Each structure stands twice: as structure tokens, then as C-alpha cells.
Amino acid sequence: MHVFDTALKIRTAVDIFGEVGAKRFIREIVPWVFLRRFFFYSQSLKGPFPFPSCQLPFRLELVKEKDLPFLLDVRPGFYHLSSLQKRLEEEHLCFLGWSGQNPVHIRWVFVNSLYLPYLRQKFVLRPGEVFVDEAYTRPEYRRHGVYSYAGYLMRPILQNLGYGRLICAFASWNVSSQKGSEKLGMKKVGEGGYRNIFGIKKFYWEGSVQYCGDGKISIKKEE
């Protein structure tokens, strides 16, 4: 379901390098390759949600098949058209953010269980839960509040569609996305990942993250 080949990894690394700079890349990202840590966040979609500011004119729309070329344009080389079409056929949701006439932000919301290539696990979703992943803003539109504002606009739409719980995961070094989600009321509920030593992976799960067996994980059901 995810296109996650070597070329994609290289493009992702280049984007991260441009975002965090050389010093942080060497100090935080390179060691992270050997100790993959992800923080899991959860939030009830009952609302209300804190209102973040955005420094740009911005609107958010649910993607339809006619919009798929815009996704390819916003994040060139990351997607294949066939994989995007398959996701929509499986009823996953995608939000596309616009500033004026320019598509600038993508955010996928998975409504059925999905494979997380960066964790090498299948994430199991219960009815009413959604998993947000692959949020991306064009570099020239970053640091203007787009990430948080798009998240704010997305939540009542998911609420109206009948979903009750939002889940996401961030790499431990991705502090900006963690802070952006915390501004919207998300709470860290656990962490997980693996140590990669000479190709041998030792996984660990903490907090509300639970291993279900057979390469599957989930977040414990809310009480």
C-alpha cells in the first residue's frame, strides 16, 4: 500500500536534511537510523478543538480522484498514481490544503488497518478510529502555521463523518509536528520502535502501544 523503495528513502532524507539542517541531521537523524523511536499520540474527536493561527490564506478539501494529479505535484516522486487510486478505492481519506490557487499541504487519514513501513508493523484500527500519516507541506509554505491549522480544519470533518478517535505517530526527532499536534489537544500515549544493529532488529513497545502478535500493533482501547 505504501511506496517505500530506496529512491523514496533518498528523497525523504533529502527533504529532512533541508528541513533540519546539517547539524541536526548528523546529531539526531543519523543515530535515529540505528534506534528508531516513534511517539504515539491519541485524541478523542468529540471536540471542541483549540484554534491555531495561520499566517497564510488557507483552505482544506477532501481529495477526490480528479485531484490526484495535485498530490503528485505537491510531493513529486513520492507517490504513484495507481497506489493513490487504490487508497481511495479502499475508502481511506486524503486532505489537500490550498493557499490561494496553490496546492501546498497533504494529509492522509487511514480508516482501515494499515502497514507502517517505517515501523515494519501493521497498525490495527478499531471501528471509529483513524490513523493520520504522511502529512507534508511544501518547503516554501512551512513555518506559517499550515500544519496546525490544517489539523484544526480536518478534525470537525472527521467528527461529522462519524469517527471518534484520532491516532498518529511521529519520529522522536520530529519535534515541530509533535508540538503542532499538542497545540490541538493530542496527548502522547506511548512509544515504540526498534534497535537496528547489524541488520538485527529488536522491537520495543511502551505505554498504550501494544503488540498484538504476527507483526501487528495497536493503541489500547480508551476507557
Mean pLDDT of 129-133: 97
The CA angle 161-62-101, to the nearest 5 degrees, is 150
- The phi and psi torsions of 81 (rounded to 5 degrees) equal -55, -40
- The phi and psi torsions of 136 (rounded to 5 degrees) equal -150, 135
pLDDT at 14 > cutoff 60? no
* Range name among 48-52, 158-162, 164-168 with the lowest pLDDT average: 48-52
pLDDT of residue 176: 85
Whole-structure pTM value: 0.85
List, as one string, the DSSP characters of 172-197.
Answer: TT-HHHHHHHHHTT-EEEEEEEEEEE
pLDDT of residue 2: 40
* Range name among 55-59, 107-111, 116-120 with the lowest pLDDT average: 116-120
**What residue spans define the domains of the chain?**
6-219
| Category of 190 on φ-ψ map: left (φ > 0), alpha (ψ -120 to 50) or beta | left
pLDDT at 4 > cutoff 60? no
Bridge pairing between strands 102-110 and 114-116: unpaired
Q: What is the pLDDT of residues 43-82, one digit of tens each?
A: 999 988 889 989 999 999 999 999 999 999 999 888 999 9
Residues with Cβ < 8 Å from 7, sequence gap 6 or more? 77
Q: What is the pLDDT of residues 28-54, one digit of tens each?
A: 666 677 788 999 999 999 988 889 989
Mean pLDDT of all residues in the chain? 88
Closest CA to 3 of 85, 104, 65: 85
pLDDT > 90: percent of the chain? 69
Q: Which CATH architecture has domain 6-219?
A: 3-Layer(aba) Sandwich (3.40)
pLDDT at 17 > cutoff 60? no
pLDDT at 5 > cutoff 90? no
pLDDT of residue 3: 41
- 121-123 sheet: strands from edge to edge: 114-116, 121-123, 216-219, 209-213
Dihedral, 62, 6, 192, 41 alpha carbons, nearest 10: -20
